[in-house]
Every structure is written in C-alpha cells, then in structure tokens.
Amino acid sequence: MRTAGLVASVALLAAACGSDENVGQTGVDAPEIDCKGAETLAASGSSAQANAMTRFINVYQAACENHTVNYNSSGSGAGVSDFLAAQTEFGGSDSPLDAEAGEVADARERCGGNDPWHLPAVFGPIAISYNLEGVQDGIALDGPTLGKIFSGEVTSWDDPAIAELNEGVELPDQDITVIFRSDESGTTDNFQQYLQTAAGDDWGQGAGKTFNGGVGEGAKGNEGTASAVASTPGAVSYNEWSFAQQRDLQMASVINSGGGEPVELTVESAGAAIDAAEFAGDGNDLRLDLDSIYGTETEGAYPLVLATYEIVCSTYPDTEVAEAVKTFLSVAVTDGQQNLEEHGYIPLPSKFEERMTTAVEAIS
C-alpha cells in the first residue's frame, strides 16, 4: 500500500506539472464542507479523466487543507485492477465492471462483502482527431465510414466513402495511419461500442478495452495517442477531447445515426446527446445505458461521449477511508464541476446531479 501510494503520488505530481495550462492552481473557491476521514487517498485509472481529476483535487485541497488524493493516470484497466487488489480506495474507469469476467464478484469481496457502485462523475466527449496538412478542420465522418477506417477497409484519405461525405473538399491521396490505444482502455471500449451501434456490419469487430481493428500503430494513454497524431502525417485516432485540445489537433465533425448535417464537437452538441442517457444500474449503482447516446438521431447531437465512473465500495471496511471518499466525491460532483467545459469536459447534467449527490451521501 505504501509503495502504491508513492507511485501514485509521483504520477499525480507529474500530471499536475503537465496540466498547468488546463487546470488553474489559484483562485479556487473552497466549498463549505466538513473535512473528515483519512488525510490521503490513493486512486488510479482512466487517463480520460486525468485533467478533471486534477481539478477535483485542487478544489478538495482548497476545502480541506491537509487532505489529498494521489491519482495515477494509468488507464481504466489498471484502475480496475488496482481497486480490486485493494491497492487504491477507488478506481476510475470509462467502462463498468465486467460481471461475466468476475469483476463484480471480486469487487464485492474487496469491499468486505458489500456491493460496488459506479458513480459517473466525469463526462468527456471522444474526439476523432486527425493530421492532414492543408485540409481544413471539420472533415465529416459517419459511423459506417469510421468502422471501415478503423478496421482497415478504407486506407486512403481520398477514398470514395470519405469523399462522398465531404463534397467540395480536396482530399489528399495519402495513406491513413490508424493510431489506437495500446493499453487496456475504457476509451477504446466506448469507441468500439459506438462503432458497434453506429457502424453495424461496417465494423463487426466487437467491443472491449483492447482495440480489435487489427490495423494501425499503438500508443499508450490519451497522452500517447494525441502525441502520435500530432507527429504522424495522415494519422487518425480517437482521443478524449481535452487531450485533442491540448495538442490543438484537427477534429472531425460526426454525422449521427439520424443522418442530416455533420455535428461539430462542442459543449452544447455533446450535452444534447448526454440528455438522452438512461440508467442501467439499480439504486445508487449509477451504471449508464449508453446505446441511446451512441445511436442518437437527435439533430445537432454529437454521439461520441463517454462517462468515466468512480468505482467505489458502497460500504468500506475502514470508516476513515469511507469518510474521506465521501468528502472528496462530494466536492467532485459539486464545486469540482465548475468550469470543467474549459478543460474538455461536460459538467454533470442536471438529471444526474441529484442522483449523484444522493449516492455519494449513501457511501458508508
């Protein structure tokens, strides 16, 4: 536990130093909160929420001077593994626990026989980023075409499938280099779930945290894929929005399942899709049914949006840990949500806010 905490602490310091342009270190308004429980928590997981987590920690420390969370942005797969092994107090994952793989049962054992809960504290759009010199931003793509690109059926930027969606755009005769996540990733899982819903037979490779397309070059984390796109002419990838913004990458507009006009990724267009989300979990387990997002036909709705869950114990074996987790997440889902749109995230929709607060308060 001490080793894991040290590693996580080093990782957090590195992340904070690299995120100065995205998350302010001053001017944070401290919420009025009763700071209870353990002074230090260890957590790890989704790199998609790394910048939001840094924001949450800053606000938490402003409210609770002697408290902190050491968050290791190691990817969703590692976040789940660390939580199940009790190396961390909560895990960040862009995908829920896999019951068929035994993760729910393992989490229940890790939680002292108590149920795990999924709390969606961060919503982040997935950008389709690309690198085409001399081509304007906003190339239009749809689900079937993305399925063909990421499965290797479409291999050139001037392929008729792309040209048909971009009349009047001079597309280069240039090979497409697919960049995918080499690590187990909830971002990959969500992207592939989107392809299953929106591309249908034009994908056909299934979902999961490992990329199944069989083409391209791998890079670790959202940081790695964004960097690879920036340095690789002709590249295309799927990145959590804030990382594409950091690198000032070109981003495609997406035609959703309703057809119609291509939808640019904005706070408003992503929010329109989130509003259609339904809950799949019971009670305070707030797992989401995202099919209605990925397959949205709502005009002006951007369909590629993922939710990052904080995976917690409904009841912790250690009271001090429980109090600290509850306090930190109370900050994260309230004051921590302020200005998240400036960092590439969508603040919690109003329909989620009350249920999230209720769930956090029920942690014991």
94 neighbors 309 (Cβ within 8 angstroms): yes
Angle between helices 2-17 and 50-63 (to 10 degrees): 100
Tokens representing residue 16 in the block: 């904070």
47 annotated ligand binder: yes
Question: Is 40 annotated as belonging to a binding site?
Answer: no
Structure token pair of residue 80: 């789940």
Annotated binding-site residue? 225: no
Q: Is 208 annotated as a binding residue?
A: no
Half-sphere exposure of 12 (CA within 13 A, CB side): 23
Under 8 Å between Cβ of 321 and 42:
no
In order of 39, 44, 51, 311, the CA distances from 77 in angstroms are: 26, 10, 18, 12
Q: Is 48 annotated as a binding residue?
A: yes
* Burial (0-12, 13-18, 19+ Cβ within 10 Å), 175: exposed
Q: Is 324 annotated as a binding residue?
A: no
Measure the CA–CA gap between 246 and 223, rounded to whole angstroms. 9
Exposure of 163 in the CB half-sphere (CA atoms within 13 A): 11
| Sequence-distant (≥ 6) Cβ neighbours of residue 300 within 8 angstroms | 263, 268, 269, 272
Residue 76 known to bind ligand: yes
User: At a CB cut-off of 8 Å and minimum separation 6, what does 10 contact?
Assistant: none
Instruction: Name the phi and psi angles at 294, rounded to 5.
Output: -65, -35
Q: Is 46 annotated as a binding residue?
A: yes
- Closest-CA residue to 254 (of 195, 177, 170): 195
Strand partners, 288: 279
At residue 337, the 3 state secondary structure works out as helix
- Residues in the annotated binding site: 46-48, 76, 94, 185-187
| Binding site members for phosphate | 46-48, 76, 94, 185-187
